[in-house]
Amino acid sequence: MTTTVRLPHRVEQALATYCVDTKRTKSDVIVSLLEQHLLSTDTERAPYETASAAGFIGCVEGKADMSVNVAANAKKLVKQKIRAKHPR
């Protein structure tokens, strides 16, 4: 089956260079990469590894003190915040 794809100039140049270096055809490289991308399963990797590879681990910095269990005291903390905002 023939499929036509428009590649940006920089991608086309990189593909051409890669094909010359590896002595493979453009079609062979594209088919190989598509098979690898579309037919691979990410179920072998743990969710942490997938998130880390995507750059999500450590991408957000905050002032949160992770040593305090906020969930355990959520009700009390909400009451304190509301009382501070709306004193009686």
Model confidence pLDDT, tens digit, residues 7-50: 999 999 999 999 999 999 999 999 999 888 888 765 677 888 88
User: What contacts 51, CB < 8 A, 6 or more positions away?
Assistant: 57
Q: What pLDDT does 47 receive?
A: 81
The helix-helix angle for 26-39 and 9-22 (nearest 10°) equals 100
Q: What pLDDT does 67 receive?
A: 67
**Residue-range domain boundaries for the chain:** 9-85
Q: Which of the pair, 62 or 24, is modelled with greater confidence?
A: 24
- Containing 85, the helix (H) or strand (E) segment is helix 74-85
Whether residue 18 contacts residue 29, with contact meaning beta carbons closer than 8 Å, is answered with yes
Q: What pLDDT does 53 receive?
A: 82
Q: What pLDDT does 43 receive?
A: 61
Whether residue 22 contacts residue 28, with contact meaning beta carbons closer than 8 Å, is answered with no
User: Is 51's pLDDT higher than 80?
Assistant: yes
